[in-house]
């Protein structure tokens, strides 16, 4: 059974666009493809420039470091203290 949704009005779309632009400006994307890496994906850093796992073969030099992409809530989780 198809889900019925009402079409979005122009005013609804105009309200969403500025917030999407603000999110896009704060995101860091791949140096080559400009794609935002997915959670759990391995990214490579060359200085302060990030390269995704898909574009890594385009670089010949070794990365300065690599990281796994975490969700935005990663640092907000409750952690158990060692006693």
Q: Is residue 46 part of a domain?
A: yes
Domain count, the chain: 1
**What predicted TM-score, i.e. pTM, was given to this entire model?**
0.60
Q: Is residue 6 part of a domain?
A: no
**pLDDT digits 0-9 by tens, 2-18:** 666 777 777 877 877 77
**pLDDT digits 0-9 by tens, 58-72:** 999 999 999 998 776
Instruction: Specify whether the CB–CB gap between 28 and 53 falls below 8 A.
Output: no
Q: Is residue 7 part of a domain?
A: no
Q: What is the pLDDT of residue 76?
A: 62
Q: Is residue 37 part of a domain?
A: yes
**pLDDT digits 0-9 by tens, 34-59:** 888 888 899 999 998 999 999 999 99
Q: What is the pLDDT of residue 73?
A: 66
Domain region containing 77: 29-83
């Amino acid at each position: 059974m198809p889900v019925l949704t009402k079409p979005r009005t122009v005013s609804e779309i105009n309200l969403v666009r500025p917030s999407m632009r603000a999110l896009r400006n704060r995101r860091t994307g791949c140096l080559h493809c400009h794609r935002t890496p997915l959670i759990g994906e391995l990214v490579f850093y060359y200085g302060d420039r990030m390269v995704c796992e898909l574009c890594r073969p385009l670089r010949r030099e070794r990365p300065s470091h690599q990281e796994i992409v975490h969700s935005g809530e990663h640092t907000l989780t409750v952690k158990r203290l060692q006693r």
